[in-house]
Amino acid sequence: MGQKTHPYGFRLGYNKPWRSRWFAKRDYAELLHEDVALRRQLKDRLRSAGVSAIDIERAANKLVVRIYTARPGIIIGRKGAEIDKLKSEVQKRTKREVHIDIQEVHRPELDAQLVAESIALQLEKRVAFRRAMRKSVDSALRFGCKGIKVRVAGRLNGAEIARKEWYLQGRLPLQTLRADIDFGFAQAYTTYGVIGVKCWIYQGENIPRRGKDLERPLRSAEL
């Protein structure tokens, strides 16, 4: 019987990029822990900005932090005041030359992480979980995704026994490598306990092109 695998890790290096891009021989563990801590702190600090992902690149003593967000104005602030403050904080923490790059997520309804966080936020505000799930699924399909699955697990509606409920619309080929599947996970901290929210969004096929194939245009049969 086949076991489930993480949709992002499964496609890593094939049609999904690494979130941390650097190479180290000696201080690998230290740098890895620094990346994890930096992501966690930035995520907590920019909770209201709708941060989807954080990419980290390193070269010598330079650090490039690329933040993908649905609301870039909150991070940048008036005349760039907030981003300068954030940059100085990260520099003080890492003791490196820091460059922060803000990338806008134009369609947050099709970003699995933002969809999961949106549902978690609604659950914390005591919105019925079925309504929150249905609203997100309908919104994603309206914006043109090929398939979406949302799953919530925990003490739903304050039930004594925890359970799982999921909702699927469209196609979701999890075992197809060339399928462009986005995955997001969030947690809702309710008075009854923690409710986990997972979201998978299928946006069509993403076929990587390598070497000489990059020079020729795709034929209609390959599109």
In a domain, 2, yes or no: no
What would the pLDDT profile of 9-58 be if each residue is shown by its tens digit?
999 988 889 999 999 888 899 999 999 999 999 999 888 888 999 999 99
- Per-residue DSSP letter, 96: S
DSSP string, 124-192: HTT--HHHHHHHHHHHHHHTT-SEEEEEEEESGGG-SS-EEEEEEEE---TT-TTEEEEEEEEEEEETT
CA–CA separation, 185 and 143 (whole Å): 21
Q: Are 113 and 189 within one domain?
A: yes
Q: At 189, which CATH number?
A: 3.30.1140.32
Q: Are 131 and 46 within one domain?
A: no
Which residues constitute the domain of residue 84? 16-104
In a domain, 211, yes or no: no
In a domain, 1, yes or no: no
In a domain, 210, yes or no: no
Q: How many domains does the chain have?
A: 2
Q: Are 37 and 113 within one domain?
A: no
**Phi, psi angles (nearest 5°) of residue 197:** -125, 125
What would the pLDDT profile of 87-106 be if each residue is shown by its tens digit?
898 888 888 899 999 999 99
In a domain, 10, yes or no: no
CA 128 to chain centre: 24
Name every residue whose Cβ is closer than 8 Å to that of residue 7 and which is 6 or more positions away in sequence. 174, 181, 182, 183, 200
**Which pTM value belongs to this model?**
0.86
In a domain, 139, yes or no: yes
Q: Are 82 and 128 within one domain?
A: no
N- to C-terminal Cα separation, the chain: 33
CA–CA separation, 7 and 24 (whole Å): 26
* pLDDT, position 163: 94
Among 47, 79, 104, give the residue marking a domain's end. Answer: 104
* pLDDT, position 207: 79
In a domain, 156, yes or no: yes
Q: Are 157 and 79 within one domain?
A: no
List the one residue out of 49, 173, 21, 167 whose CA is nearest residue 113: 49
